[in-house]
Amino acid sequence: MLSANVFQENTNYDAFTSLIHKYEPDIFLTMESDNNWEKALAVLEEKYPYSIKIGLDNTYGMHFYSKLEIANHNIHYFVADDLPSIEAKISTSDGFKFTFFAVHPPPPSPTEESNSKERDGELLSIAKRIKQNSDTCVVVGDFNNVAWAKSSILFRKTSETLDGRMGRGFISSFHTKYWFLRFPIDLMFHTADVFIEDLKTLEPFGSDHFPIYSKFFINKKSSKQAHLTENLEEGEHEDVEEIISEGINEKSDNRN
């Protein structure tokens, strides 16, 4: 799996498609990909016959390509009608099925959102959806949040998933230009029956984010990781519902 916030204004399309040719992931996700990126990615469609395309020019476009069959999918707009997330049911050639979630909520910043309400509401809405799904799940994207923030912890507890970085260091992905100030905000979470063999950043291609690469396998019979999942504690259920409600009610004036 490869995921990348491509940076909408980045036009170094060939550098990104070269990455795909080099690492040959079974599935890959782009974020901030608009219609120009969609046209550029068309050269990969022969190798990736399954796709979900959301070409937006508001920096929240998403494109998902897969060599594996996408049995069905949903595009969700949990807190705002211009903030998509993807839920795709994937079938592997050896008979496994898992659900892939792609996320990219807005960051709290002077140029984006004045607070984190939409971001946190979006993330926790997806976390509830994962919990309801009761299936093998992999969640990937630009969370615009570090894994140790309160909302990320609530996300992990609500969804009962594991942080893919566990035991592998920070794996900082942003900002590519500032080596002295980088944060792990492109994250991967997964259910306990997903085992990660490799998780790392790849070489830059013109974006302000490094791409993330992961190799993982599914083992539904093993319970080795089950004890590592955490559950919501007393009072946290109410916190989650309040955060989701605030996210839905938050009106953004900054996105197109």
- pLDDT tens per residue, range 31-60: 999 999 999 999 999 999 999 999 999 999
* Edge-to-edge order in the sheet of strand 50-54: 50-54, 62-66, 27-31, 2-5, 212-218, 194-201
Write the burial class of residue 123 (CB in 10 Å: 0-12 exposed, 13-18 middle, 19+ buried). buried
Whether the pLDDT of residue 159 is over 50: the answer is yes
Question: How crowded is the C-beta side of 57, counted as CA atoms within 13 Å?
Answer: 3
Tens of pLDDT, residues 113-153: 445 888 989 999 999 998 888 789 999 999 998 878 888 89
